[in-house]
């Protein structure tokens, strides 16, 4: 998959994050869920983090269109930090809104 297709997919998925965690979908309600209670108890913070992820994905799409690798690198780093804000990086070892894998 090329960079643009990936960025578009990330942007679409980021826009769906909040809707994917309605009330009643916590760890005790959904088998195998690693979602922390903070998703619901700190809802405004969770929604802000999801909005930031969507915004950085949109910036990444714009950066790709410039065809400037340095602009891309800068925006990709920002996107990674926004993603890591909840997950603590690509290995998904836990984070602000996610329990570590057991």
What 86-90 contacts at long range (C-beta under 8 Å, 24+ apart), as own/partner pairs, is 86/46, 86/49, 86/53
Q: Is 92 contained in some domain? A: no
Its domain, for residue 56, covers 3-16+36-87
pLDDT in tens, 17-64: 999 999 888 888 888 888 889 999 999 999 999 999 999 999 999 999
Q: Is 26 contained in some domain? A: no
Q: Is 102 contained in some domain? A: no
Confidence (pTM): 0.86
């Amino acid at each position: 998959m090329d960079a643009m297709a990936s960025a578009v997919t990330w942007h679409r998925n980021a826009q769906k994050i909040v809707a994917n965690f309605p009330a009643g979908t916590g760890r005790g309600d959904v088998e195998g869920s690693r979602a922390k209670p903070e998703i619901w108890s700190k809802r405004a913070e969770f929604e802000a983090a999801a909005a930031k992820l969507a915004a950085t994905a949109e910036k990444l799409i714009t950066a790709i269109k410039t065809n400037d690798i340095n602009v891309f690198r800068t925006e990709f780093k920002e996107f990674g930090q926004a993603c890591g804000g909840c997950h603590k990086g690509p290995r998904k070892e836990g984070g602000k809104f996610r329990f570590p894998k057991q």
